[in-house]
Structure 1
Amino acid sequence: MPPAPPVGGAVDHPEFLWHNREPKPSYDVVIVGGGGHGLATAYYLAKNHGVRNVAVLEKGWLAGGNMARNTTIIRSNYLWDESSGIYEHSLKLWEGLEDDLGCPILFSQRGVLNLAHSPQDIRDSKRRVYANQLNGIDAEWLEPDEVAEVCPIVNISPEVRHPVMGATYQPRAGIAKHDYVAWGFARKADQYGIDLIQNCEVTGVDVVGGRVTGVRTSRGRIAAGKVALAAAGHSSVVAGMAGVRLPLQSHPLQALVSELLEPVHPTVVMSNAVHVYVSQAHKGELVMGAGVDTWNGYGRRGAFHIIERQMSAALELFPVFARAHLLRTWAGVVDVTPDASPIVGLTPVDDLYLNCGWGTGGFKATPGVGWCFAHTIAHGEPHPYNAPFTLERFTTGALVDEHGAAAVAH
């Protein structure tokens, strides 16, 4: 991250930098979590609702958590109406976000292929294509020879363990530069007068008479009219400070990049069966990942057996990468709900708002959930796009089960 200028100082490079503020005694809204979702929420609170007396608290550095540890895939081809609604809203915002933020984010709509390797895969994939088309989302079914036209380096030979039998394709999907996105939201939020406070860990949430009154932090107590949680893998920990128990499990999610290569991979390829996805970043490195680690934890380091399985799966699909060298690995901490869909809305504590449970799909939702969460906070009721994703659905049974779309990290 570029260094922030001193408090009150000029921003030498306004395309990326922001002020690093000291916390004030109180705010109208305190957002816990300075990643993509927290920064986007702050921006849309100011832009769409005129709420500017806002602090974003980050225990480390801005966007230093999952926002800096994801693999940047953006798509909206989810099965259920509720999911496709909020992700398509987000994708439409992505398409204009560079102009909106006034800075480059390297949004590349290179398309996403989801491969099918069995008759059941084909049935499930076509079902998702038809559901997407009914919701006005660009989605196509491709036969193996058409897959090769979109991505010539995919191995479509029938003589492999998991032959490619077709794929779904969303042409408007793609990737973006994650840290540029975070810096863009941070810069615009700063311009609206929102305080971005780094190295400020929340250690407690004060609740009086069933209503939140503020937070305790490593830099002192901060009073708040409203508190919004956007802490990703640590959401259950922070919500627990307010006495709210969440149906979440936190898992490490590992990914890796290769050395720089010539541009050979034109799209994004995902496969649940061989359990890997591969894209090529703007500089040339391959970006690869798979599903979440099976154990619960908060570790942010790779594990060799996970890496080995990812590499084996990648080489089944892309034999051309057999001689590529691994450059580095990392892990994020993702929060997973029982139905693999997020929780965005109100809590049993008055004026305490919750945005969590995105699992492996949080990056692609960044502008969309920021928009909707800001609306929820400003109006005290959910936006129509996040209304289905209530905490109460786990007691009413109105689940939005996206395990099929979220089986592989994305």
Structure 2
Amino acid sequence: MHYSGFKVIKEALTGHRGWGPAWRDATPKAQYDYVIIGGGGHGLATAYYLAKEFKQARIAVLEKGWIGGGNVGRNTTIIRSNYLLDGNEPFYEFSLKLWEGLEQDLNYNAMVSQRGILNLIHSDAQRDAFIRRGNAMILNGADAELLSTAQIVERYPFLNVNNARFPIKGGLAQHRGGTVRHDAVAWGYARAADRRGVDIIQNCEVTGFRIENGTCKGVETSRGFIGAGKVASCVAGSSSRLMEKAGMRLPIESHVLQA
């Protein structure tokens, strides 16, 4: 099904009887070329680009809960590429360019809104740091604009620039930055990956790995063993706990946070 304004109008006039599931409720197969653990943004994007850009088939995404219900559903809404270090900035600028064309690529409304991002300057030292960051952004091909206090007052008159504790002395703006709804990103990737043949298997928790002579042959799950040529872990904050099941100790620790 292709989403469009015409489709929305048609369904509104016909009682919304033509909408189907966004993706299949796939039954696990015995063997895949790629098994991706984690049905969040990273796992689903990995599956989608493996199928789209690298023409790979026989791919499964295993999610212990439901799509959009994990960390991706609680993620920050901000998208940006206003970083300082040369190792970071090109990566995030490439990412921002993906965001700019994501909805057209996936044919899905992920609520991408490039309303811009403004980091305020409250001290002279912070101004120096943001000047460096803005220059680094421009050198790496990103957009950046250093704003004076007067320019900020003109654009955002509701801000109290003379706040005694946090006076506003300027700001660094990236007008291509903005916001996105991350659970919708997961749904969009899931739908697009499914259309390319990826099996998305929800309520399927990985409980262990079958490793023979140093080679991972597949994963043990709450829905039985699933063989795999390659296994990818895309489970965010659960990475250390999952990899412990494979006998690997990662140099990170997982902590439960409430933001």
Common fold, TM-score beyond 0.5?
A: yes
SS in 2 for 1:249: coil
Give the distance between the partners of 1:240 and 1:83, measured in 2 at CA: 29
Partner residue, 1:233: 237
CA shift, 1:151, in A, is 2.9
**SS of aligned partner of 1:81:** coil
What letter is aligned with 1:37?
H
Spell out, residue by residue over 1:140-197, the C-alpha distance to the aligned partner (whole angstroms, 9 max, x if none): 111122223343322211x421211211110000012222222111111111111100
Residue in structure 2 matched with residue 183 of structure 1 by the alignment: 187
> Does the 8 Å contact 2:137/2:143 carry over to 1?
yes
For residues 251-277 of structure 1, the C-alpha deviation after alignment (integer angstroms, 9 at most, x for no partner) is: xxxxxxxxxxxxxxxxxxxxxxxxxxx
| CA distance in 2 between partners of 1:86 and 1:185 (Å) | 20
Q: Which residue of 2 aligns with 1:141?
A: 146
In structure 2, the partner of 1:406 is none
Match of 1:114 in 2: 119
Query: Residue 207 of structure 1 is aligned with which of 181, 196, 211?
Result: 211
Number of aligned residues:
243
Q: Deviations over 1:90-149 (max 9, x none)?
A: 111111111111122221111101122112111111111111111111011111222233
SS in 1 for 2:53: helix
2:165 corresponds to 1:161: yes
Q: Of the candidates 106, 110, 113, which is equivalent to residue 101 of structure 1?
A: 106
Counterpart check, 1:216 vs 2:220: yes
Q: Which residue of 2 aligns with 1:77?
A: 82
Whether contact under 8 Å (2:69, 2:183) holds in the other structure is no
Q: Note if 1:244 corresponds to 2:248.
A: yes
Please give the alpha-carbon distance, in whole angstroms, between the structure 2 residues aligned to 1:53 and 1:202: 18
Q: In structure 1, what is the Cα distance between the partners aligned to 2:144 and 2:251?
A: 32
In structure 2, list runs of 5 or more residues that go unmatched: 1-16
Structure 1 position 242, deviation (Å)? 1.7
- C-alpha change, 1:12 and 1:57, in structure 2 (3 Å) is farther
Determine which structure has more spread, i.e. the larger CA radius of gyration: 2
Q: Structure 1: where are the runs of 5+ without partners?
A: 1-10, 251-296, 303-330, 332-410
| TM-score (norm: length of structure 1) | 0.57
2:4 maps to none
* Structure 2 residue aligned with 1:396: none
**Higher normalized helix content (fraction of residues):** 2
Match of 2:13?
none
For residue 113 of structure 2, give the secondary structure of its aligned residue in structure 1.
coil
In structure 2, distance between residues paired with 1:78 and 1:100: 26
RMSD: 1.7
Match for 1:59 among 33, 48, 64?
Answer: 64
- Equivalent position amino acid for 1:63 in 2: G
67 and 151 in structure 1: CA distance in 2 versus 1, 3 angstrom threshold: farther
Q: What's the CA shift string for 1:29-79, capped at 9, x where partnerless?
A: 000000011111111110001112011000100121111112310001111
**Structure 2 CA distance for aligned equivalents of residues 150 and 58 of structure 1:** 44
